[in-house]
Amino acid sequence: MAKFFDKLVSKIFKEKPIDWDQLEADLVSSDLGIRQTMEIVDELQSLGRKVKADDVVEKVKSHINDILPEDEQALSPLENGKPYVITMVGVNGVGKTTSAAKLAFLLKNQGYSVMLVAADTFRAAAVEQLEVWSQRLGVEFVKGAPNADPSSVCYTAHEKAEREGIQFVICDTAGRLHTKQNLMAELDKIKRTLQKHNEDAPHLSLLVVDATTGSNAMQQAKEFSKAVTLNGLVVTKLDGSGKGGILVSIYRELNIPTRFIGIGEEPEQFEEFRRQRFIDELL
Ligand SMILES: Nc1nc2c(ncn2[C@@H]2O[C@H](COP(=O)(O)OP(=O)(O)OP(=O)(O)O)[C@@H](O)[C@H]2O)c(=O)[nH]1
Ligand SMILES: [Mg+2]
């Protein structure tokens, strides 16, 4: 995972005494958010002694540990024989389709049966992209007619999955901007349609955000959570210049826990989020 405090560490170890303005700037640029940054700096300054680099490292770690929730349980199939339904939503290009495929791969490797559903029906290329993934990974795939209503594709897929005893259904949706009312309403329709099969569906509604977009990801999380119930976050592209701090601020502000992280383009470069591991790898 990206060591998002690399820069910070190298600076604070060189500079004694600590340059507070610089520390603030570095914490903010790690996407930890202004609120967290101010709290960390205040707490350090109120230690009442000369603050050392180790103090900063410890404080950042303990602060994040206090904010983030306990890890969620790994996903497990429903016991009533119906499929566990996962929807992937987010703005364009964040990594929804890739993450849907990677998640299918992860679940398949845990021994579960999985179906990928192409509910991004706007572009033929989008359907094809997911189809190629499903063939490569050897998982079930369902698509609709070109330009079909995404809800109907999800409805049919659920029916098929239930009939065939498939344990996990992952619905990939088209990228959309929160400003497009009709597209946001479509997400709600997908949910309502799935609920005709199972009132608890979707069991996991994942917002996918690209870590390299920094505070934009926070904005997306705010807007999407107004339109749909989100109960998990996927943070992609943490292998690049992505600053993982964003997942801390999103949880703090919106209570959406990070469930998975993407750390590359390959199917295995995707992990369940683990708080301790994240903190250990920060510095
Ligand atoms: N380096 C890196 N690249 C990623 C990661 N996740 C996705 N990508 C790349 O990001 C690009 C966009 O991914 P998609 O999965 O097509 O994104 P999308 O959200 O489905 O895009 P739309 O359907 O067009 O909205 C692809 O080139 C992916 O390979 C990641 O964790 N790390
Ligand atoms: Mg896509």
**Domain ranges in the chain?**
6-67, 84-280
Q: Evaluate whether the domain defined by 84-280 bears CATH number 3.30.200.20.
A: no
The model's pLDDT over 81-99, given as tens digits with 9 standing for 90+, comes to 999 999 999 999 999 999 9
DSSP assignment of 254-282 equals: H---EEEEE-SSSTTSEEE--HHHHHHTT
From residue 183, how far is each of 3, 102, 120, 151, 233 by CA, in Å? 36, 25, 11, 12, 20
CA–CA gap between residue 120 and residue 143 (Å, rounded): 9
The model's pLDDT over 154-190, given as tens digits with 9 standing for 90+, comes to 999 999 999 999 999 999 999 999 888 889 999 999 9
275 contacts: CB under 8 Å, gap ≥ 6: 65, 68, 69, 70, 71
The Å distance, Cα 262 to ligand 1 centre, comes to 9
Q: Are strands 204-210 and 168-173 parallel, antiparallel or unpaired?
A: unpaired
- 1 band by pLDDT with thresholds 50, 70 and 90: very low
The model's pLDDT over 27-55, given as tens digits with 9 standing for 90+, comes to 888 888 899 999 999 999 999 888 888 88
The model's pLDDT over 219-257, given as tens digits with 9 standing for 90+, comes to 999 999 998 999 999 999 998 877 788 999 999 999 999
The Å distance, Cα 102 to ligand 1 centre, comes to 11
Tell which atom from ligand 1 comes closest to the C-alpha of 208: 19
